[in-house]
Amino acid sequence: MGTASTFTLLLACAPFVLEARQPVRARHAMVVTREPHATDAGVAVLRAGGNAVDAAVAVGFALAVTHPAAGNLGGGGFMLIRFADGRATFLDFRERAPAAASRDMYLGPDGKPTRDSIEGWRAAAVPGTVRGLEYAARKYGSKPWAELLAPAIRLAREGFPVSWGLAQSLRQSKLLARFSESRRIFQRDGRFFEPGERLVQPELAATLERIARHGADEFYEGETARRLAAAMRENGGLITVEDLKAYRVIEREPLRGRYRGLEILTAPPPSSGGVGILQMLGVLEGTGFERYGAGSAAAIHWMAEAMRRFFADRSEYLGDPDYTRVPVRGLLDPRYLAQLRSSIDPERATPSERLRPGNPRQYESAETTHYSIVDPQGNAVAVTYTLNGGYGSGVTVPGLGFLLNNEMDDFAAKPGFPNYYGLVQGEANAIAPGKRPLSSMTPTIVLRDGRLYMVVGSPGGPRIITTVLQVIVNVVDFGMNIQEATDWPRFHHQWLPDKLYLEPGISPDTRALLAARGFAIEVTRSMGEVAAVLAEGGWLHGAADSRVEGKAAGF
């Protein structure tokens, strides 16, 4: 039980060589999150006899205390569950647009999108996390509700030591500094937290205690709902008590596909991630890209071209399936995948300006964090939930202690214009009252011969999808252990802007070869923060990403 040490990238004659880090291994159960206190909360629930869903709920609430950049009460997300008996389900607790939302609400007098969808009170959609975690606990959990919130309440009430990474993040956040309550709680009005000092959050503890006593109804119909709605009115926000009361979790069928004989369970719309994973894997299968080796210019070329084509399709076809017809079957039809595959030049990058969304309908007959959990019974849970940007909208609700999301920016504020992440999105993701914005969150479970093989996911906006793709490929095609696959340098292409983003660990020689193929290269900071579990050889292998201060632990 514990964490693996920091990895080192060694540049050599090959594109790059990774000094292998070993995963954390356990026989019975595994919890992997990006924050050690949250991991410990999940392990404690499992040791006390709870199942993977119980542990996922405890982790979700603990992260709302210890990882304020993304852990949340004021956001939303997805939970993918695969039970030991083979059943699987997907819980959609994505945020929804308030009833007062309108298509052009973020356009200025010049017709261009404003920053109101990115920061401040008007950026927030109706949160789904509290209702989603309660739905999971009531339907699929086994432990008392209050017991699952107890670790989070203790962490908020008594505080916890601020890590180096959290201290730097809080200090550097200009967004938190813009809002008085956020500045007071998380930056102490300029007396910034030093590593090792305790972050105590009494207002958040009181909110969690009310939720523990009265359930999710307290958040959506009780004192918390009334105080949140009042603060919205006072500050020009849109969320009302009626919006909160009307919020519902949607239970959906997981999206299913296959790759090299493995079965993949992943996120359906309103996530674009599951469709993306399955489409890109489908395009890659049969290209022979794997024979070039991990980190080679040729392998990156093939994968980047598959990414480019998916994101072009994403811009046109993906949205909330309750509001728009999403041609999932066509996007994943083998004939359409073959058409995409044949459009890739093996030697030259395809300029994005020459690539338009395809026509899958002819084949129709339709800042974030992730954690992965496996319990002793063999149940597996993958959860990705979010405030969208780091610290969401920047707004902490006065007296309630939690940050609000800026999820409204995940809609197309103006179809055809890029959002916060540079993504160009179409009419399918236009703003409408009650609609759920398109997401990139991609909690994924992989089966081998009908048995649990991998649980994986990541934060990172659109880079979530390409990050999960690369971890799967690193294990399945390049033979890495799950820790190596998680730590390996990553890359990303999203059609527009027409750039291939590379992490610094990819060697200058490889960069030069890719540039010679026609890619516009940009070296960028770390992408994603994977939390993954691999089940193999009678052991659970847990991998927390070296890019963050995560922890894998089990027993």
Q: What is the mean pLDDT of residues 494-520?
A: 97
> Per residue in 93-150, pLDDT tens?
999 999 999 999 999 999 999 999 999 999 999 999 999 999 999 999 999 999 999 9
- Give yes or no for residue 9 having a pLDDT over 50: no
The band of 346, judged by pLDDT with boundaries at 50, 70 and 90, is very high
Q: Which residues contact 229 (CB under 8 A, 6 or more apart)?
A: 239, 240, 241, 244
Nearest to 149 by CA among 91, 214, 222: 214
Write down the pLDDT at residue 6.
33
- pTM attached to this predicted model: 0.94
Angstrom distance (rounded) from CA 332 to CA 315:
16
The band of 498, judged by pLDDT with boundaries at 50, 70 and 90, is very high
Q: Which residues contact 139 (CB under 8 A, 6 or more apart)?
A: none
The band of 363, judged by pLDDT with boundaries at 50, 70 and 90, is low
The domains of the chain, with CATH numbers, are 37-248+370-413 (no CATH), 252-368+441-554 (3.60.20.40)
The band of 18, judged by pLDDT with boundaries at 50, 70 and 90, is very low
Q: Which residues contact 535 (CB under 8 A, 6 or more apart)?
A: 374, 451, 452, 453, 454, 541
Q: What is the mean pLDDT of residues 350-379?
A: 85
**79 in Cβ contact with 373 (< 8 Å):** no
| Angle subtended at Cα 383 by Cα 152 and Cα 70, rounded to the nearest 5 degrees | 60
Write down the pLDDT at residue 419.
74
The band of 29, judged by pLDDT with boundaries at 50, 70 and 90, is very high
Q: Which residues are catalytic?
A: 368
Write down the pLDDT at residue 11.
30
- Give yes or no for residue 66 having a pLDDT over 60: yes
> Per residue in 239-252, pLDDT tens?
999 999 999 999 99
Write down the pLDDT at residue 364.
52
Q: What is the mean pLDDT of residues 292-299?
A: 98
Write down the pLDDT at residue 2.
40
The band of 424, judged by pLDDT with boundaries at 50, 70 and 90, is confident
The band of 501, judged by pLDDT with boundaries at 50, 70 and 90, is very high
Write down the pLDDT at residue 314.
95
> How does the average pLDDT of the chain come out, rounded?
94
